Chain A
Amino acid sequence: MTAILQVKDLKVHFQTDDGLVKAVDGVSFEIEAGKTLGIVGESGSGKSVTSLAIMGLHKGSRAAVSGEILIDGVDVNQATEAEVNKLRGKSMAMIFQDSLAALHPFFKVGDQIAEAYQVHNKVSKKAAQQVAVEMLGRVGIPNPTQRMEDFPHQFSGGMRQRVMIAMSLSCNPKLLIADEPTTALDVTVQAQILDLLRDLQREFGSSILMITHDLGVVAEIADDVLLMYAGKAIERGTVRELLKTPEHPYAWGLLTSIPKLTGATDSELLAIPGTPPSLITLPSGCSFSPRCSYKNRSKVDCESAMPELAGVKSNSSHLVSCHLSETDRVAIFKSEIAPKL
C-alpha cells in the first residue's frame, strides 16, 4: 500500500492583531490510494485550514505554514506557486462547502469546468467543452449540453455541488479534498452527493480527504478518521474503531450527542459542556481538559501537558491523545458511554 498524501507535523499559524492564532498545530497523517480519510472536528478545530494547507492555498496569505506535505513526491510547502499549480486540479482537487460562493458568478458552468480541464491538458476549447459535458453527465446532471450554458446561480444547491464535483474530477486527480461538501445541503441531497462521491471514487480510483463535522458523513464514506480539536489531532483510527470503541472523552461526547432515530436537532447542543478554547490562549496542558468531565479520574494532572498521540493497546492503527489510563478509559466507556450508544 502506497500513501498518496503524507502530512508530517503540519503547523499553520496566523499572526493577528490579537496575537498568534495556532489554527493547526502539529498534525500528521497520510492517505493511501483509493482510501478515504475523514477529518472530523467542530468549526475552528483547524480541519479546513489543514485542507487549504494541502492545496497550498495559504501561499501569499498571512499564514505561516510549516511541516511537510508530500504529494506526488513534491513537498507542497516547499514548492513554488508554479510547481503547486501543476499539482492543483491534476494531482489534487478540491470541493468547497459553499458551492454558490465557490463558483464564479459571471462565468458559465460549462466554461468553468472546461477551463479546469484545459489548464492541465493541451486541448482545444471545443474538446475541453466536450469533456465538460461528459463530466456534467457523469455527476448526474440532466441534459448537460444545455446546462453547460447556465450560470451557477441557476442551479439548485445539490446540482451546484455536482458541478463542483464534476469540475474537481475533470482532470482525474489522485486526491480529492472535500471540505464539508454536504453541509449546505438538505439531508436527502446529502445522501445523493455522498453516493455520487463513492461511485466516482470507485470509478476514478482517487483517494478522498473528507473534511466534516458530521460523524454521519464519516460513517457513510470514510475508511479512516482523524479527530481534531483546537488545531491538534486527538484521536485517530478506522471508522469502526472510532465509532464503536472511541477512546477520547471528546469522541464520547460527540457520539453520545448524536440523537437516535431522530433527524438533525439543536436541542443537544450542550451535550459537551463549555465552548472550544480560544486558539490564541490555549489552556495549559490538554486543551480539552477544561471541558473534560473525566479529568478528575485521571492520575496525571491534565493541565500539566498535552498528552502524546499514542497507540491504544497493541493496536498501532488506533491512536489517542489522553491522560486517562487505558484501563480507566475502558471502564468509563463500558459503564457510562456504551449504554448510551
Chain B
Amino acid sequence: MLAYLVRRLIGGATVMVLVSIFVFGLFFVLPADPARLACGKSCTPELMAEIRHTLELDIPLPAQYFRFVKGIVSGRTYLAGSEAQLDCAAPCLGYSYQTDELVTNLLKDRAPATLSIAFGASILWLLIGLSSGIVSALRRATWIDKFSQGAALAGASLQIYFVGLVLQFFLVDKLGWLSSPGYVSPNDYPMEWAQGMILPWLTLGFLLSAIYARLTRAGMIEVMSEDYIRTARAKGLTSRSVNFKHVMRAAITPIITVFGLDLGQLLGGAVITEYVFNIPGLGKLATEAVSNVDLPVIVGTVLVAAVFIVMANIVVDLVYMILDPKVRLA
C-alpha cells in the first residue's frame, strides 16, 4: 500500500516535471518576446539588454528552467545586490509582467473564489446526480425514470455559457429571485458571498449532475444484473437492503472516481463558469493572463491546475484501493 502510494507520487511528480517543462517552453516560442513587450516604445538595445537581464532571459534556456524550478522549491532573488533587489519566497513563480505582483500572491487571491464555486457546486451535483440516478435505476422505465433521464441528457447537452446567461436573465433580471452573481470574501460578507454564489452553483450543479445521474443509473443497473445481487435476494434480504447495501456499495466506486477527477479539474479553475459569471477565480486569472500575454501568470495557473488534476488522480486511486478490496490486497 505504502509502496504503491510512493510509486504513484513519483509518477505524479514526473508528470508534473514534464508538464512544467512543456509549459515553460511557452516562454520561448512566444509571439511577443516578453522583454520586447516590457521594453515598450522607447526601446533601445541597452534598455532591452537590461530588461532581458532583469527578467533573467539572458541566460541559457536550461539554466532558466533550473532557476524556475529552484524558485518553486526554495525561492529565488531577482537583481540580487542591486537597489531594486526582489526576493521571491518559495514557492516562487515569478512576478506578473502586467501588475508586477508575485504570481503566488495572485494565485492566493484568486483561489478562494474558485474554491467557493467548487465547494457549493460539487455538493449540489452529487446530491442531484446520485439521487436522480438512483431513483431512475430503481424505477426503471417509469415516467420518473424517463423524466430524470431526459433532464440528465439535456443537462449533458447544455452549455454553461448558455444556461448561465438564460438563468441569469430569468432568475436575476426578470424575476429578481437571485441576486446577481459575483464573489465577495465569505469572511467579510458571508451573506453576500452565498447570494453571489447561488447562481454559479445552480448552473454548474445542474449541468454536472447530469453526468452523475447517467453514471449512477447505468452503474446500478449493471450491478443489479450481477450474480451476487441474485445471491443477496436468494438470502431473503428485503429489496431495500439489496439495493442500498449490496447494489450501492458496488455501484458507488466508479462514481467516486469520476467525482474526484471532476473536482480536480474544477479546482484548477472553472474557466468558463468564472468567465460567464465574472467571478475572479483562477480560471478568470488565467483567461486574463492569456489575453495579456502575461507569461508568468499563464505558467502559474496552468501548473496549479495541473497539480490539482494530478493530485486528484492519485487521491482517486488511493480511495479506489480503500473501496475495492481486490485492488487493495492485490
Chain A residues at the B interface, C-beta cutoff of 8 Å:
52, 55, 57, 81-82, 84-90, 93-94, 96, 98, 101-107, 115-116, 119-120, 151, 153-154, 167-168
Contacts and interface: CB of A to CB of B under 8 A. Distances in A.
A151 B237 contact: no
Interface in B125-183: none
Q: Is the interface of A mostly helix, strand, loop or mixed?
A: helix
A104 B231 contact: yes
A154 B231 CA distance: 19
Nearest to A88: B236
A153 B330 CA distance: 10
Interface stretch (B106-114, B207-215, B321-329): B321-329
Interface in B225-256: 226-228, 230-239, 246, 249-250
B235 A115 contact: yes
Given A106-B249, A106-B324, A106-B325, A94 B236 contact: no
A88 B226 CA distance: 18
B138 to A, nearest CB: 11
A106 B250 contact: yes
B142 to A, nearest CB: 13
B253 to A, nearest CB: 8
A57 B238 contact: no
B236 A86 contact: yes
Contact of A89 (B227, B234, B249): B234
Interface residues of B, number: 21
Interface of B: 226-228, 230-239, 246, 249-250, 323-326, 329
29 contacts: A55-B234, A81-B239, A82-B238, A86-B236, A88-B233, A88-B234, A88-B235, A90-B236, A93-B234, A93-B235, A96-B227, A96-B231, A101-B226, A101-B228, A105-B250, A105-B325, A106-B249, A106-B250, A106-B325, A107-B246, A115-B235, A119-B235, A119-B236, A120-B236, A151-B326, A151-B329, A153-B326, A153-B329, A167-B235
Contacts of B233: 55, 57, 88
B246 to A, nearest CB: 6
Greatest chain A CB density within 10 A among B234, B238, B326 is at B234
A284 to B, nearest CB: 35
Given A104-B250, A106-B325, A107-B249, A57 B237 contact: no
Nearest to B140: A60
Contact of A102 (B228, B239, B326): B228
B233 to A, nearest CB: 6
Nearest first, the 9 closest Cβ-Cβ pairs linking A and B are A88-B236, A89-B236, A101-B227, A104-B228, A151-B325, A116-B235, A102-B227, A89-B235, A94-B234
